[in-house]
């Protein structure tokens, strides 16, 4: 029932969602769930109920949006924010508090991470204010509650939890001194009145959102983001969105793994330029999500990796590759991939990681070759399909990109049917 184009168009109009970015199966599953909840027997019956109820419209949006976030995701972004914030305060001679915006803020991990990062960088509470915004009232309510489970704390370096959280029976409650720095509200980036009367923000975090829009909506949302960001401000994005901002006139500030862009070239804390990839990730598989290692810095020194024990099998080495990549150790992860290929038969997942690592390094043609090798070994590898589609689209091959996105959607649909 849910393949009806009306549902795709509804989500496109309301939240800008491009069905090709997530696959039809995700939306179909959400519509089935909501139809069952309302005891609707046909597509027309559910459609009429959807049109008649704003609560149901929001419920369908909530069923499609599955937040995937954790504290200090992409940690170098927060380390860079701390350095830039201190410099920004000096530039404005501390005449006012810094304004920082996080949208979509999901369940609050990002805006609270921003506040913790700035407190740890030495800023006083009166020197900054963080505003979080999300289209989901349920997510905003969870953020306001401020209680988080273990899934929100990932990686080995979670020392910040001891300093800023108190353990309770139902999870970890964030400290009041962090909560006081953050205001939260419901809002939609597609709303032309969004924050219309607000001053611009010194720093804006909008990560892993543009990848879910088609090109016209991306441009529309980018103009909104640009209008919200101070002319001397910095926009933090997801690792898959760098080439898009480059095409729209923004410049990387040049700090590896920070995914930070400005309108004009400006002195960077670390004058190293790393071109950004343009993959389109699934929500559950964001490209190289660095583990929350608060305030780590990227070093030019490559630390050697101890070779795995002789008895280590292929699964252990694959796990090591994923861990290194997720921690932002690109060169070490690539070396682990090479060791795998020397001692084990070729594997699609290894070539996928090599493609993603090449993407991050800005080697688009090399990345394309690795993705194609992954698809040769595993034709329906979902991440390789979507990342290669993004590369083709960035190179102007829109028909080729859409074919790969359609393949990924069919694979997702088939997988969903097998599980149902």
CATH for 75-262, options being 3.40.50.150, 3.50.50.60, 3.40.50.970, 3.40.50.620: 3.40.50.150
CB 221, CB 229: distance < 8 Å = no
Res 285: pLDDT: 40
Q: What does the DSSP 8-state code read for residue 149?
A: -
Q: What are the residue ranges spanned by the domains of the chain?
A: 5-64, 75-262, 314-419
Res 264: pLDDT: 60
- Report percent pLDDT > 70 for the chain: 83
What are the backbone angles phi and psi of residue 267, rounded to the nearest 5°?
-55, 130
Question: Tell me: the pLDDT tens digits for 373-388?
Answer: 888 788 888 888 888 8
Closest Cα partner for 132 from 174, 99, 92, 164? 99
- Report percent pLDDT > 90 for the chain: 34
DSSP-assigned beta bridge partners for residue 173: 147, 166
**If you average pLDDT over each of 2-16, 174-188, 329-343, which comes out highest?**
174-188
Question: Tell me: the pLDDT tens digits for 293-350?
Answer: 333 333 333 444 444 443 457 888 888 888 887 767 778 888 889 888 888 888 889 9
SS3 340: helix
**If you average pLDDT over each of 10-24, 39-53, 168-182, which comes out highest?**
168-182
Res 212: pLDDT: 81
Q: Name the more confident of 121 and 22.
A: 121
At residue 122 the predicted structure's pLDDT band, cuts being 50, 70 and 90, is very high
Res 414: pLDDT: 60
Q: Name the more confident of 150 and 239.
A: 150
At residue 416 the predicted structure's pLDDT band, cuts being 50, 70 and 90, is low
Question: Tell me: the pLDDT tens digits for 69-102?
Answer: 899 988 899 999 999 999 999 999 999 999 999 9
Q: Name the more confident of 26 and 86.
A: 86
Closest Cα partner for 190 from 61, 282, 6, 74? 61
In this model, does residue 140 exceed pLDDT 80?
yes
At residue 417 the predicted structure's pLDDT band, cuts being 50, 70 and 90, is low
SS3 414: helix
Query: What is the side-by-side strand order in the sheet with 147-148?
Result: 147-148, 171-174, 165-168
Question: Dihedral sign, CA of 25, 26, 28, 33?
Answer: positive
CATH class for domain 314-419? mainly alpha
Question: Tell me: the pLDDT tens digits for 260-301?
Answer: 999 865 444 444 444 444 443 444 344 444 333 333 333 333
Average pLDDT of the chain to the nearest whole number: 81
- Ranges of H-type helices in 38-164: 43-52, 54-64, 75-91, 109-120, 137-145, 159-164
The CB density around residue 329, as the number of other CB atoms within 10 Å, is: 19
């Amino acid at each position: 029932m849910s393949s009806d184009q009306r549902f795709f168009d509804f989500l496109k109009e309301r939240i800008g969602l491009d069905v090709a970015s997530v696959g039809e199966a995700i939306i179909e599953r959400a519509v089935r769930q909501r139809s069952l909840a309302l005891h609707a027997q046909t597509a027309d019956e559910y459609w009429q109920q959807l049109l008649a109820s704003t609560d149901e419209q929001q419920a369908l949006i909530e069923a499609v949006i599955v937040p995937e976030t954790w504290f200090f995701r992409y940690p170098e972004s927060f380390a860079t924010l701390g350095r830039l914030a201190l410099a920004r305060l000096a530039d404005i001679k501390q005449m006012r508090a810094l304004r920082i915006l996080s949208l979509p803020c999901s369940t609050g991990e990002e805006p609270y991470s921003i506040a913790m990062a700035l407190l740890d960088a030495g800023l006083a509470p009166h020197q900054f204010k963080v505003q979080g915004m999300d289209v989901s009232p349920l997510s905003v309510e969870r953020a306001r509650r401020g209680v988080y489970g273990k899934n929100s704390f990932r990686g080995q370096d979670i020392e910040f939890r001891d300093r800023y959280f108190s353990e309770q029976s139902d999870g970890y409650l964030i400290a009041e001194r962090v909560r006081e720095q953050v205001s939260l509200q419901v809002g939609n980036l597609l709303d032309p009145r969004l924050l219309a009367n607000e001053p611009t923000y010194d720093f804006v975090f909008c990560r892993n959102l543009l990848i879910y829009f088609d090109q016209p909506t991306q441009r529309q949302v980018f103009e909104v983001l640009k209008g919200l960001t101070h002319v001397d401000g910095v926009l933090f994005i997801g690792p898959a969105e760098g080439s898009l901002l480059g095409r729209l006139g923004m410049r990387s500030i040049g700090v590896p793994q920070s995914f930070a862009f400005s309108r004009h070239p400006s002195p960077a804390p670390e004058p190293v330029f790393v071109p950004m990839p343009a993959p389109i990730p699934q929500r559950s598989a964001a490209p190289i999500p660095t583990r929350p290692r608060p305030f780590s810095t990227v070093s030019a020194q490559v630390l050697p990796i101890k070779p795995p024990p002789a008895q280590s099998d292929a699964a252990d080495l694959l796990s090591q590759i994923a861990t290194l990549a997720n921690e932002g150790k690109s060169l070490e992860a690539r070396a682990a991939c090479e060791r795998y290929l020397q001692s084990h038969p070729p594997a699609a997942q290894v070539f996928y990681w090599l493609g993603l690592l090449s993407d991050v390094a800005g080697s688009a043609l090399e990345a394309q070759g690795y993705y194609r090798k992954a698809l040769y070994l595993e034709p329906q590898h979902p991440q390789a399909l979507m990342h290669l589609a993004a590369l083709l689209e960035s190179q102007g091959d829109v028909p080729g990109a859409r074919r790969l996105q359609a393949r990924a959607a069919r694979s997702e649909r088939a997988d969903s049917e097998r599980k149902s």
